[in-house]
Chain A
Amino acid sequence: MTLTVERPLSSEPARERRFGLVRHSLALGRRSLIKTLRTPEQLLDVTLQPIIFVVLFVYLLGGAISGSTHDYLQFLLPALMVQTVIFGGMATGVNLNADIGKGVFDRFRSLPIGRSAPLVGSVLGDLIRYLVGITSLLGFGYAIGFRAQTGPLPLLAACLLAVFFAFCLSWVYVLAGVLMRNPGGVQGLAFLTLFPLTFGTSVMAPEETLPGWLRAWVDINPVSHVIDASRGLMLGGPVAGPVTWTLLWGAGFLVVFAPLAVRAYRRRI
């Protein structure tokens, strides 16, 4: 084998100069996507978990809560859709934490790219998880009788709204992923916060049936707005308020936690 390194200094290749952060983030997002698709078992949580939840809750609790499994399925599915994408966003933090300790991140740090690009790339690449989760949940839901009452466009809007919120919230777990020492820790923190956030809503039972103290929590819990918006968009009902609150809360999480995560990443050695 002969090893000769070709280096014609005169023919400097054409370089792109504009929109560096966007291009770098997309290239790194593509990397995350390739990695996920090459290890599809990473998608088990977003494919099987929502189906198990539907089966468990609809057939186990549906009769008791709504008197009929079909009514309960209609009530539950829009909320489970929100829960599914939020769980997907949490996994971004865990994956990033496992990824960041590897040598390849040293290389990213030695390249002339924005410090936020590797984080944005990870978050973008994980959008596939939301897509798979929603497809799996809605597919199964439709198979056992769920029907959106509004139309395809509001249904799509409900999905996009949930994805937007989960994307924004995932920066909280990205921050944890950058700060914490191992993926197990990030996972622990994620579960600890996600159970009150997603179950502490009207996801399973109408708010009127809850005791006062829990209702107070549900009222201040931002995920409640996302679930209300999702139900409104899929089943009909008030939409403007919940959608506005969802957008505001999402933007809030993004504006606060994305810069914190980038700062923490810059300081991590």
Chain B
Amino acid sequence: MTLAFETEGLVKRFGKTTALAGIDLAARRGTVLGVLGPNGAGKTTAVRVLATLLRPDGGRAAVGGLDVVRHAARVRRLIGLTGQYASVDEDLTGMENLVLIGQLLDLRRAEAGTRARRLLADFGLAEAAGRPARTYSGGMRRRLDLAASLVGRPQVVFLDEPTTGLDPAKRDDVWSIVRSLAGDGVTVLLTTQYLEEADALADDISVIDHGRVIAHGTPAELKHLVGGQTILVRPTDPARLPEVTAIVGEVSGRTPESPGRGVVTVPVEGDAAFTEVVRRLDREGIGVTELSLRLPSLDEVFFTLTGRHTGEEAAA
């Protein structure tokens, strides 16, 4: 098995803060590794070490079998990086940004131009190519940033929270880019705060917290670990909540919870339960204002794995 990148016992401290407390990550070539964790878990630090922007204090990290500290220059030939904030030059046009990256990657000027035009077209930025990036919308800027990280045809692409702050339509654009990269054999490390995103894109997911990996597996394994999906029902008439509670309890065989006023939730395995709930609600003539089947949120994953909510400190 060939690994596109891996870290072993990676440690990074900033003063007294330990950002990475011995982290192990690995991705096979051509797969997407989702790194899932709340703010401050160490996701960005791990990406910055792998991208040769930070030196680790302990452990090791390698890309394409090359150590990121000893062979930083060669690693830089293999990688593309998209940071949390768009790392493009605001004063330069989209075209100028990509041509500059091409020239820094040793493309001949004509090649750099061809490559830039092609990427701008691929990413829906052809019309905006001649405008300074500062006039771009958030979604356009993010796409330009992604395009910039692909100029050198990298084997490994690091995407640090690429959809944070994007509306759902823009987010879908980024998702389809990630899928098409993976389809072309590029290895992707994607950090995210959303289980839904990791589930949609990743072949494997590592959940990290306080600079440690606390769970690792395929999305299916992870979902199984935290109880699959959740049905949520909000009846139009709050007085009928007890009936709804009885129905979902019976169908799922578990005890429903009421996380808010007039709402009931219950964990279920598989979609069949959902169809059954809908059928029973219809038969009883219970109208609903909200009815959904969703994956557990990161917070719920965390609660299951650690017994505490995201943002809560562990009890000492």
> Which A residues are closer than 8 A to B by beta carbons?
1, 3-7, 9, 12-17, 20, 23-24, 27-28, 30-31, 34-35, 38-39, 102-113, 117, 269
Contact A5-B89, Cβ < 8 Å, known A13-B115, A106-B81, A109-B53: no
Instruction: Give residues in B with beta carbon < 8 Å to A.
Output: 51-54, 73-74, 76-77, 79, 81, 83, 85-92, 96, 100-101, 103-108, 111, 114-115, 118, 122-124, 132, 148-150, 152-153, 173, 176-177, 180-181, 184-186
CB within 8 Å for A111 and B181 given contacts A3-B124, A3-B176 = no
Q: By the criterion CB–CB under 8 Å, are A27 and B104 in contact?
A: yes
A112 touches B118 (CB 8 A): no
Give the A-B contact count at a CB cut-off of 8 A: 112
Q: A16-B106, A20-B106, A106-B53 are in contact. Are A6 and B87 (CB under 8 A)?
A: no
B177–A3 CB distance below 8 A: yes
A-B contact pairs, 30 of them (CB 8 A): A3-B124, A3-B173, A3-B180, A4-B122, A5-B180, A5-B181, A5-B184, A9-B185, A12-B153, A13-B107, A13-B111, A14-B108, A17-B106, A23-B103, A27-B104, A28-B104, A31-B100, A35-B91, A38-B91, A38-B132, A103-B86, A104-B88, A106-B53, A106-B87, A110-B51, A110-B81, A111-B105, A111-B152, A112-B74, A117-B104
Which residues of chain A are near B123, meaning CB under 8 Å? 3
Contacts of A24 in B (CB 8 A): 103-104
B57: shortest Cβ distance to chain A, in Å? 12
Q: Which of A9, A20, A106 has most chain B Cβ within 10 Å?
A: A106
Given A35-B89, A269-B53, also A4-B180 (CB < 8 A): yes
Q: Are B92 and A110 in contact (CB under 8 A)?
A: no
Instruction: Known contacts A3-B124, A5-B180, A107-B148; decide if A112 and B111 are in contact (CB<8 Å).
Output: no
Q: How far apart are the CA atoms of A13 and B115 in the complex, in Å?
A: 9
Expressed in whole angstroms, the Cα–Cα distance for A111 and B148 within the complex equals 11
Within the complex, what minimum Cβ distance (angstroms) separates B54 from chain A? 6
Contact of A15 among B89, B106, B114 (CB under 8 A): B106
- B184:A13 contact, CB within 8 angstroms: no
Q: How distant is the Cα of A9 from the Cα of B181 in the complex, in angstroms?
A: 12
- Shortest B133–chain A CB gap in Å is 10
Known A-B contacts A6-B118, A35-B91, A103-B83; A108 and B104 likewise in contact (beta carbons under 8 Å): yes
* B80 CB to nearest chain A CB (Å): 8
B62 to chain A, nearest CB (A): 16
Q: Which residues of B contact A7 (CB under 8 A)?
A: 153, 184, 186
B96 touches A113 (CB 8 A): no
Which residues of B sit under 8 angstroms from A17, Cβ to Cβ? 106
Kindly list chain A residues whose C-beta atoms are within 8 Å of the C-beta of B180: 3-5
Closest to B153 in A: A7
How many Å lie between the Cα of A107 and that of B144 in the bound state?
Answer: 13
Contact B87 A112 (CB under 8 A): no
The 4 closest A-B pairs by CB, nearest first: A103-B87, A112-B76, A27-B103, A13-B111
Across the interface, which residues of B come within 8 angstroms of A20, CB to CB? 106
Report B-chain residues with C-beta under 8 Å of the C-beta of A5.
Answer: 122, 150, 177, 180-181, 184
Q: How far is the CA of A269 from the CA of B55 in the complex (A)?
A: 9
Min Cβ gap A105→B in Å is 8
With both beta carbons as reference points, the residue of chain A lying nearest to B158 in the complex is identified as A110
Considering residues A13, A23, A107, A111, which has the most beta carbons from chain B within 10 angstroms of its beta carbon? A107
Least distance between A16 CB and chain B CB atoms (Å): 5
A113→B100 CA distance, assembly (Å): 12
- Which of B87, B92, B153 is A107 in contact with, Cβ under 8 Å? B87
**Residue on B with the closest CB to A114?**
B73
A209–B140 CA distance with the chains assembled, in angstroms = 64
- Point out the residues of chain B lying under 8 angstroms from A39, CB to CB: 91
Q: What is the CB-to-nearest-CB distance from A24 to chain B, in angstroms, rounded to a whole number? A: 5
CA of A38 to CA of B51 in the docked complex: distance in angstroms? 31
**CB-CB < 8 A to B186: which residues of A?**
7
- Chain B's closest residue to A108 (CB) is B104
Return the chain A residue nearest B77 by Cβ: A112
